[in-house]
Structure 1
């Protein structure tokens, strides 16, 4: 027995030594090997990255990056989102709503075997020109019903989408104009990345074609149409009778805002919806009975999203679902599948939190809610942060909810950005905003919280008028300067304002905010990058 153990140890030692020598001398030439990568997409829109495995036992680290704006001194060219370890030569990638790239590195028993691969661009958001990538495919073996959901990956900064149905392939793929020869119908009244089509008039056709393109606030194309796809039809299939949860393009490490927003792809022609929130799964999926002990429910006249008016600070599991409601208040179809999110247990004192209005809560490009975290500036921080923003706040409203929403977390540092809605209102003078900010400061200091004020950003009254049909106080800029002068005289502040003007230095640059008020993806990236470079004002 002793001889056997000795022999085993000798073999093991020789194996380890051989592995050590092979890795350190690179006798197999592994360092010069190039990893050839490819992507595969599942039916729910998730991507798997695959590459040629090395001819040597190893594991792989896959790092995820996205480009930064390049507008902030000291900010790296790419934001690092995290890494994953896998023993296989493939990895199911975290979902994303912005351009991402990946670098793969092989590791052996004694360290790194290869240099990181060249960046591998995610194909969904790396197209040039831009076009939506389709998620739901209706092929001959997986046909559509007469009321199918057509779903695609969202396009950053798209306000709406146009779907075109065609009798045959278009004369030219892509492009920005509907096809003349095979055009059947089209609609631009789609304000999310999916649409329930009504194909009943095409029930006698075996298939038609469809394609989609993104549009801006003026209904001008963002990029071009997606490649036209066959849409096979089976009139005998059951038709979807509940909204489709919209969780397709969530950002990595998604967390629901403290003031949750629930979003879905609507039923065709249904404009009212009921949402219910539960602390347990429903007794039965897709039934038509309200949950008796639901924590909250609300009916909204909105086709794609519902804003919860209450914060959800208590740690635990939450479930929500939605169903259509007709004009008489009766259910349309059944409840959707139940969505699940988790509110994490926070430490006794949160290191950093942000407090403010819709600019902080999130959302942008008019149609995208705070549940789309690519429109949240906290997404682009390189440190953890709790988002206490609430859409619609004036500076007074932010002050009024301080005790309820801030004190339970007692953050060491509180970033404060509120007053833009007050700025636009002609009835609110800048002294009111400053008094509110002073009161927030006093509450912070009384509770051992460091208040870090962010200067208000400029607005663009013309774009606000076009987007929301709302006038902006003509004195907004003078009010802005008065408020920001106060902010710049505080012990701790971060100056956002100078970065966001257009070339005339008069209003918010449209490239940062389509609606003139809420920064879009690039604007929110820029906000995050500016704050990243000023962490010296934080209390450790």
Structure 2
């Protein structure tokens, strides 16, 4: 299993945690050189992006576009005369090449959400006018999602670069730069590049902690690595290294994301976004309790938090690591906190759903995970803690 998909798995562990608590592998290949004039000549045209409200229970969505609203319209059945249909939309937005749609107006669209098993979650949305809902652009480039630095829970030490893919792109290259890129068009790398990676997904988890001011952008490619369009406009991220009163430290449950298709850039799935005080998110998806011990000095101490909210151990216990080892790791994190004047606040571990994990990722879960979770949570409840597992006490496992 590739790193990106393991992080999808890690995010999947939080499938239903946040609503209850708070209420691609990287592909490396050589891109064939193509002259910019070739691409730009082919790409002239108008593009549009449709966006609709997030369904927090959806894994994917279906979008259909049609010329007329049928008299016998049904909310539970597709329209046979639809001129466009996409059943594999994994964000709440879709970029369209308007040249491929009829010029006559009006056009209408509607959306239906699906669960992990491919079953509809409720009916189609009400038909809506495409033109009034469309964000138009002449730029054939992915559209970045830019939630960072815009309210509670939006400062992440380990950023995730998310975007809406552009038409005909099947792969994406993400570039991070130390300064604003000097070349806003085309597909050549910036002289300020400090990191780049490729993926087939519409988000990329950065392996490196990022502080200070930096920029990121993304471009599409086809299956052979040839450019599809050009770079998106650069997005600025500022991660101030200053004194933070509260920091959050953990794995994907704290990093953010859920329902397989949503990541930390989707702040609705981040419990930090519901806090009424500022915090910095120092979590990293996929972390074990041992990994949290190892990166403490590098990732926690530079921010000098007064309080550290700690939620870790789920990935370790799911893999069969003994509860005693996880407890030992948590004690070591507590010790390091106190040694540096930080108040550690442990958080109990909500249950997981092994069936969903197996179904989505073909990853087994240790048979004795429930007893291990109980043992670790018993230790945590004897310390200064927040009982995030309390809402699930009567549940055998995390609900779907």
The equivalences for 1:58-457 within 5 A come to 148-171=48-71, 175-180=75-80, 182-197=81-96, 202=101, 208-231=107-130, 240-247=139-146, 252=151, 255-302=154-201, 304-314=202-212, 317-347=213-243, 350-426=244-320, 428-457=321-350
Aligned CA distance change for structure 1 residues 381 and 239 (closer, same or farther; 3 Å)? closer
- With over 3 angstroms needed to count, the CA separation of the structure-2 counterparts of 1:294 and 1:384, relative to structure 1, is same
User: Take 1:231 and 1:506, find their aligned partners in 2: how far apart are those partners?
Assistant: 45
Q: Which has the higher helix share?
A: 2
* Matched-pair contact (CA < 8 Å) for 2:155–2:279: no
C-alpha distance in structure 1 between counterparts of 2:367 and 2:238, whole Å: 44
Shift of residue 150 of structure 1? Answer: 2.9
Uncovered stretches (5+) of structure 2, i.e. residues with no partner: 1-17, 24-43
Deviations 1:469-503 (A, max 9, x none): 3221110001111111222233x1222222125x5
Separation (CA, whole Å) in 1 of partners of 2:74 and 2:235: 35
Summarize the Cα distance change of 1:71–1:484 in structure 2 as closer, same or farther, 3 Å threshold: closer
Distance change in 2, residues 1:431/1:307 (3 Å): same
Q: Greater relative contact order (Cα 8 A, min sep 6): structure 1 or 2?
A: 2
How far apart are 1:418 and its partner, in Å? 0.5
Task: Name 2:371's counterpart in structure 1.
Answer: 478
What whole-Å deviation, never above 9, does each CA across 1:178-208 have from its counterpart, x for those lacking one?
A: 124x334422200012223466665576664
- Counterpart of 2:273 in 1: which secondary structure? helix
Q: Distance in 2 between matches of 1:456 and 1:400?
A: 20
Change (3 A) 1:472 1:170: farther
What TM-score, normalized to structure 2?
0.80
In structure 2, what is the Cα distance between the partners aligned to 1:267 and 1:498? 43
Provide structure 1 residue ranges, at least 5 long, that are not aligned to the other structure.
1-67, 76-143, 511-540
Would you say the 8 A contact 2:143–2:165 is kept in 1?
yes
CA contact (8 A) 1:245 1:336 kept: yes
The aligned counterpart of 1:500 is 392
The CA deviation string for residues 331-358 of structure 1, in whole angstroms up to 9 with x for no partner, is 32210111122223522xx322111000
CA displacement, residues 28-49 of structure 1 (integer Å, 9 cap, x when unaligned): xxxxxxxxxxxxxxxxxxxxxx
Q: Deviations over 1:38-71 (max 9, x none)?
A: xxxxxxxxxxxxxxxxxxxxxxxxxxxxxx9799
Which sits farther off after the overlay, 353-362 or 151-160? Answer: 151-160
Q: Measure the CA separation in 2 of the matches of 1:413 and 1:184.
A: 55
Query: Residue 38 of structure 2 corresponds to which residue in structure 1?
Result: none
Cα distance, 1:377–1:71 mapped onto 2, change above 3 Å: closer
